[in-house]
Amino acid sequence: MKTGILLVLHGSRVNEWKEVAINYKDLLKEYFDLVEFGFIEFNEPSLRAATESLVKMGAQEIIAVPLLFAAGAHFYRDIPRLIGVNDNGEVDIEGKKVKVSIARPIGIDKRVAEILKERVEQVIESPRQI
Amino acid sequence: MKTGILLVLHGSRVNEWKEVAINYKDLLKEYFDLVEFGFIEFNEPSLRAATESLVKMGAQEIIAVPLLFAAGAHFYRDIPRLIGVNDNGEVDIEGKKVKVSIARPIGIDKRVAEILKERVEQVIESPRQI
């Protein structure tokens, strides 16, 4: 079963999110063959367009993994709707029915706390004001 | 110089964000003495209230560290405004002038990609449909 990984990002009017998406896609490609990113809002591609790309590249199932810390309204309601998942937990793309699962958000992880600590230390080492 | 760490979270109408805040605060307390969290919107305490708490607990400078992947409009515009930073890069709290710095967002980090990989693997190991 060929699995397509859909990296789900919130998106923003600020362009930096696109760079975040591209870089995390590249990092995930070290682990998985088929990876695409899609945005909940503001940026392109949409979650639906990214899902279609994955299926066209041969994905037989989709696992959406959100770059979000917690499962807010977007998670429960918007992500399945924007991907276009039907009541059977599938998308129908050009006649192909592909199962979609959604992975848990990042949640609490000590590695993230380590990164935050490093960001604080960077300020202490080279202070700058707002 | 006693440094107060202000963990900045976006906030959400979904309550899970409060749990994320409390847990990351606890993890950061392993590295720093004075830590508080504040929300950009939807949840309490506000960034201003959290900053005031830190100063009342004895913080002589504040480093705000955002639990955000990229610097969107919130970062550049809203965080300083909501903290109440003046043109000198300080807050004035009950007559105490305290310097405020803002750390870089999380950005691109291989440790985050590892966590995303693990979230995907959790779905593969115990599949569930939406």
> How far does A50 lie from chain B, in Å, by closest CA?
17
CA A21, CA A47: separation in Å to the nearest integer? 13
Give the mean model confidence (pLDDT) for residues B25-50. 96
A109 in reach of chain B (CB within 8 A):
yes
Q: Which residues pair with B30 in a beta bridge?
A: none
Give the mean model confidence (pLDDT) for residues B106-124. 97
Residue whose structure tokens are 């592909």: A98
- Judged by CB atoms within 8 Å, which residues 38-77 of B form the interface with A? 63, 65, 67, 69-73, 76
A95 in reach of chain B (CB within 8 A):
no
The model's pLDDT over B56-109, given as tens digits with 9 standing for 90+, comes to: 999 999 999 999 998 876 677 899 999 999 999 999 999 999 999 999 999 999
Establish how many alpha carbons lie within 13 A of residue A52's alpha carbon, considering only the half-sphere containing its beta carbon. 10
Buried residues in A37-74 as b, exposed as e (16+ CB within 10 A): bbbbeebeebbeebbbbbbeeebebbbbbbbbbbbbeb
Q: Does residue A34 sit in helix, strand or coil?
A: strand
A127 in reach of chain B (CB within 8 A):
yes
pLDDT at position A11: 86
Residue whose structure tokens are 């110089």: B1
Please check the confidence at residue B114 and state whether its pLDDT lies above 50: yes
pLDDT at position A74: 66
> How far does B43 lie from chain A, in Å, by closest CA?
13
More confident residue, A58 or B15: A58
Is it true that domain A3-125 has CATH number 3.40.50.1400?
yes
pLDDT at position A92: 96
The one catalytic residue among A3, A10, A45, A49: A10
Which regions in chain A score pLDDT beneath 70?
73-74, 127-130
> How far does A77 lie from chain B, in Å, by closest CA?
10
CB A72 within 8 A of CB B17: yes
B13 — pLDDT class (breaks 50, 70, 90) = confident
Active site residue A10: yes
The yes/no answer to whether this complex scores an ipTM above 0.85 is: yes
CB contact under 8 A, A116 and B24: yes
Give the mean model confidence (pLDDT) for residues B16-38. 96
CB contact under 8 A, B123 and A130: no
